[in-house]
A and B are shown apart, each in its own frame.
Chain A
């Protein structure tokens, strides 16, 4: 029985002076990190935080975010890290959905946090990491030092307790909170660190947001192994980030395709940067085979892992690096200790090379979506045993004769842009709220850098003269930037089905230069 926070205490016991986290401002040992997490837990418990309550963290990749994650678990609570680009209305939705008791944020996001908090009756406290003055509310320092230490004793819960909610875009346009227990997280982190052959002397460089499960697991897996995480906020200036690979002796470097494309367009990649890196990982969307080949020549000592997953089971498959030459377009086999297969519409396994839905079985499969039984019923279906549920991914796959998986397409309309899953419905809901928009639909245009770029087709109402810039500004004020469409096209009319619905498939085919499918 392992709760995830106990892995932090274990790492601090084994090697207290080992560096756990390196950020722009902090270089923290495991002893520092563990002590800070305990102080945060004491602050929560001291302010009346009960077992199983939710602490939402709206903050950048920084030391305090990691402390709040582990401190919440130590207090017996459930954490949820929210992308700092989230706007007030969506934040309020999430806070209300999970009935958050505590919100941790930073001074630069306090405006958004306060606007959201007004709409959230359950919220008792906002903790502001770098509060500039008292008017900003209770500061991090006061919170961390204001309560008595937690009395020594057993952990505040067991391993089948819920540990985190990861909010992900839903096809209905409402974010869904993926529920993961401590046991789920320990299982997933164990499986992934097994195939990556992670070690305590690894140093991982991550620029991926902690709100994104791929970013979050870099932290979780480093803590599990007692290794070092170099945590940066973004990859906007690769020239500031890549030298860290050599100066920090980085061994593991997780990528998404957009980062790979940014690295490959550099004119002066210093070979010294790549020397210590022993593995690269990629997920979120497939890397083009040409990019894989060029990455392998830049990082000649590194093994390259192509992977596939979704938040609902963290990771589903990985391609053993020695297979990369032979099957560059495959996402490989089930991660260790799990099973995957392709099923027909009745859930029955299909023969090799037949396209169907990928189904996932294992200890990494979520417990369901928080507060959303209907969506849970669709994703989790009866498994082999009466008590067991398996995950229906909604992704169409085929598996070749030798058992390797190939992603084919989404079953629903979700778009993958910049590695993020985007619900066109969520964007369309925002577009329809703009006066002057009569009809709107969003599709994904193939794009070498983004995977898919978001394009909105809009029919203006009769008296309207809204411009593309008006539309983009309206979206940018309400949606995270990866969800804001940058391509806007006005049309006099949109193609419709016989029942009058806009034909999304026809417009999707048009932007892909495919033949328009029959209705």
Chain B
């Protein structure tokens, strides 16, 4: 099973055409790098819900959870462990 990070990277590469072809720095802002925009955020959130079977509240959709690969990974990990699926 690929890691959470790899699954997120694959999604960004396949679905967000503005992802740079070279590897994204995990701490880089996806928004400043031009990878994400408002439409992209919406698509990413629906994918996170389907892919990891989690519920992303509106209040979760903030840069601190979404705007970077490292924060995305820890956000998903947090959601999974809340649901007792982590580890």
Question: Are B58 and A266 closer than 8 Å at their CB atoms?
Answer: yes
Question: Are A85 and B34 closer than 8 Å at their CB atoms?
Answer: yes
Residues of B in contact, count (CB < 8 Å): 20
Q: How large is the interface on A (under 10, 10 to 19, 20 to 34, 35 or more residues)?
A: 20 to 34
Question: Are A486 and B61 closer than 8 Å at their CB atoms?
Answer: no
Give A49 Cβ to nearest chain B Cβ, in Å: 31
Residue A465 CB within 8 A of the other chain: no
Tell me which of B2-10, B38-46, B70-78, B79-87 binds A. B38-46
Residue A258 CB within 8 A of the other chain: yes
Give B55 Cβ to nearest chain A Cβ, in Å: 9
Question: Are B38 and A240 closer than 8 Å at their CB atoms?
Answer: no
Query: With the chains together, A131 CA to B25 CA distance in Å?
Result: 23
Query: With the chains together, A234 CA to B36 CA distance in Å?
Result: 11
Residue A469 CB within 8 A of the other chain: yes
| Segment 235-286 of A: residues with Cβ below 8 Å from B | 235-240, 258-259, 262, 265-269
Query: With the chains together, A259 CA to B58 CA distance in Å?
Result: 15
Give B20 Cβ to nearest chain A Cβ, in Å: 9
Give B34 Cβ to nearest chain A Cβ, in Å: 7
Give A290 Cβ to nearest chain B Cβ, in Å: 18
Residue A160 CB within 8 A of the other chain: no
Mask: chain B, 59-73; 1 = CB below 8 Å from A; 0 = not: 101110010000000
Question: Are B61 and A449 closer than 8 Å at their CB atoms?
Answer: no
Residue A65 CB within 8 A of the other chain: no
Residues of B within 8 A of A473 (CB): 17, 21
With A476-B17, A481-B18 known as contacts, the answer to whether A236 contacts B41 (CB < 8 A) is: yes
Question: Are A262 and B61 closer than 8 Å at their CB atoms?
Answer: no
Q: Which of A265, A268, A418, A450 contacts B59 (CB 8 A)?
A: A268
Question: Are A108 and B32 closer than 8 Å at their CB atoms?
Answer: yes
Query: With the chains together, A472 CA to B37 CA distance in Å?
Result: 16
| A-B CB pair tally, cutoff 8 Å | 56
Question: Are B58 and A267 closer than 8 Å at their CB atoms?
Answer: yes
Residues of B within 8 A of A235 (CB): 38
Question: Are B62 and A237 closer than 8 Å at their CB atoms?
Answer: yes
Question: Are B38 and A486 closer than 8 Å at their CB atoms?
Answer: no
Query: With the chains together, A242 CA to B42 CA distance in Å?
Result: 16
Give A137 Cβ to nearest chain B Cβ, in Å: 21
Residues of A within 8 A of B42 (CB): 262, 265, 449
Give A328 Cβ to nearest chain B Cβ, in Å: 25
Q: Which of A108, A236, A240, A269 contacts B37 (CB 8 A)?
A: A236
Query: With the chains together, A418 CA to B44 CA distance in Å?
Result: 18
Residue B27 CB within 8 A of the other chain: no
Question: Are B38 and A262 closer than 8 Å at their CB atoms?
Answer: yes
Query: With the chains together, A235 CA to B34 CA distance in Å?
Result: 14
Residues of A within 8 A of B40 (CB): 236
Give B71 Cβ to nearest chain A Cβ, in Å: 13
Query: With the chains together, A107 CA to B20 CA distance in Å?
Result: 20
Residue A317 CB within 8 A of the other chain: no
From B46, which residue of chain A is reached at the shortest CB distance? A265
Residues of B within 8 A of A449 (CB): 39, 42
Query: With the chains together, A85 CA to B32 CA distance in Å?
Result: 10
Q: Which of A85, A258, A268, A486 contacts B58 (CB 8 A)?
A: A268
Query: With the chains together, A449 CA to B58 CA distance in Å?
Result: 18
Residues of A within 8 A of B58 (CB): 238-239, 266-269
Residues of B within 8 A of A508 (CB): none
Give B41 Cβ to nearest chain A Cβ, in Å: 5
Question: Are A237 and B21 closer than 8 Å at their CB atoms?
Answer: no
Residues of A within 8 A of B38 (CB): 234-236, 238, 258-259, 262
Residues of B within 8 A of A259 (CB): 38
Question: Are B17 and A472 closer than 8 Å at their CB atoms?
Answer: yes
Residue A423 CB within 8 A of the other chain: no
Most A CB within 10 A of own CB, among B34, B40, B42: B42
From A486, which residue of chain B is reached at the shortest CB distance? B17
Q: Which of A267, A418, A484 contacts B18 (CB 8 A)?
A: A484
Question: Are A236 and B36 closer than 8 Å at their CB atoms?
Answer: yes
Query: With the chains together, A259 CA to B37 CA distance in Å?
Result: 12
Give A379 Cβ to nearest chain B Cβ, in Å: 31
From A236, which residue of chain B is reached at the shortest CB distance? B38
Question: Are A239 and B21 closer than 8 Å at their CB atoms?
Answer: no
With A481-B18, A486-B17 known as contacts, the answer to whether A237 contacts B57 (CB < 8 A) is: no
Residues of A within 8 A of B21 (CB): 473
Query: With the chains together, A258 CA to B17 CA distance in Å?
Result: 19
Q: Which of B34, B61, B63 contacts A481 (CB 8 A)?
A: B34
| Segment 469-504 of A: residues with Cβ below 8 Å from B | 469, 472-473, 476, 481, 484, 486
Q: Which of A237, A269, A469 contacts B63 (CB 8 A)?
A: A237
Question: Are A481 and B57 closer than 8 Å at their CB atoms?
Answer: no
Q: Which of B18, B32, B59, B63 contacts A476 (CB 8 A)?
A: B18
- Lowest 5 CB-CB distances: which A-B pairs, in order? A472-B17, A236-B38, A268-B58, A266-B58, A476-B18
Q: Provide 30 A-B residue pairs closer than 8 Å at the C-beta atoms, listed in order of the A residue.
A: A85-B34, A234-B37, A235-B38, A236-B31, A236-B37, A236-B40, A236-B41, A237-B61, A237-B62, A237-B66, A239-B58, A239-B59, A240-B62, A258-B38, A258-B39, A262-B38, A267-B57, A267-B58, A268-B57, A268-B58, A268-B59, A269-B58, A418-B39, A449-B42, A450-B39, A473-B17, A476-B34, A481-B34, A484-B18, A486-B17
Q: Which residues of A contact B (CB under 8 A)?
A: 85, 108, 234-240, 258-259, 262, 265-269, 418, 449-450, 469, 472-473, 476, 481, 484, 486
Extra pairs beyond A85-B34, A240-B63 (14, CB < 8 Å): A108-B32, A236-B36, A236-B41, A237-B61, A238-B38, A238-B58, A240-B62, A259-B38, A262-B38, A268-B59, A418-B39, A449-B39, A449-B42, A481-B34
